[in-house]
Amino acid sequence: MDFIDQFEKHYNYDCNYMRKMAKANPKAFETFVNFLPMGQVGKSLPSDVLWTAKIAAMLTEDCGACVQLNITMALEAGVDKNIVQNIVKSPNALNDDLKLVYDFAKAVATNQEDHHSIQKIVEQKFSADQLTELALAIASTKIYPSIKRALGDFKSCSLYQFSI
C-alpha cells in the first residue's frame, strides 16, 4: 500500500479504486500494477508528443481526475505549460505536428471512421517505433476510467476545471 499512498500524496489523486482492487483481489491488483509502465513507454517520442497523445485520448473519456493527473504528469515531465494548456483548452493553437497527434489520438480513442486517413499522415511523420509508442499511450488512457467506473468510482470520473 506504500505505493498507493505515495502516488496519492505526490499527485493529489484519489486512489481509492486502487485500494479497493488491492483489498478485493491482490492478484488482480498486481496485474494492474504491472500494466502501469505501458502508458509511460515513450522513449523514442518527444515528451510533448507523448503527452499530447495521452491527454487528448484521456479527454475522450470525460474523466476529470484522470485528465488532471495526466496534466500534472506532463508538466512534471517538462512539457511546456502553454502546450499543456492548448491541449486541454485550445487544441487548434497547437503547432502542426502536435495538432496532428492530438487529432490522431482523439480519432483512435473514439474510433472515428476517418482515423485511417490521419494515420497515413502520422505514419509519414513518425517512425514505426514511435507509432507503436503512440498506440500504447493512447490505449493506456482507456484503462483507468474503465476500471474506476466498473468499480463504482464514478464521482472521481466527472468533469471539472483543470489546473495547469
CATH number of residue 104's parent domain: 1.20.1290.10
159: pLDDT strictly greater than 60: no
Residue 78 φ then ψ, to 5°: 95, 10
How far apart, in whole angstroms, are the C-alpha atoms of residue 48 and residue 51?
5
Place of cell 504491472: 34
Residues in Cβ contact with 42 at an 8 Å cutoff, skipping those fewer than 6 apart: 49, 50, 133, 137
Decide if pLDDT at 99 tops 90: yes
pLDDT band at 56; cut points 50, 70, 90: very high
Mean pLDDT of 93-104: 97
Q: Residue range 46-62: average pLDDT?
A: 93
Domain that holds residue 90: 39-157
pTM value is 0.90
pLDDT for 164 equals: 74
CB distance 87 to 55 below 8 Å: yes
DSSP string covering 111-158? T-TTHHHHHHHHHHHS-HHHHHHHHHHHHHHHHHHHHHHHTT-GGGGS
Q: Do 29 and 58 share a domain, yes or no?
A: no
Q: Tell me, yes or no, whether 31 and 50 share the same domain.
A: no
Asked if 62 and 93 sit in the same domain, the reply is yes
Q: Are 110 and 95 in contact (CB under 8 A)?
A: no
Task: Answer yes or no: is 53 within a domain.
Answer: yes
163: in domain: no
Q: Are residues 33 and 45 in the same domain?
A: no
**What is the per-residue pLDDT across 9-50, written as a single tens digit (0 to 9) for each?**
999 888 989 999 999 999 999 999 999 888 778 789 999 999
Give the angle subtended at the CA of 163 by the CAs of 159 and 164, to the nearest 5°. Answer: 125
What's residue 95's pLDDT?
Answer: 98
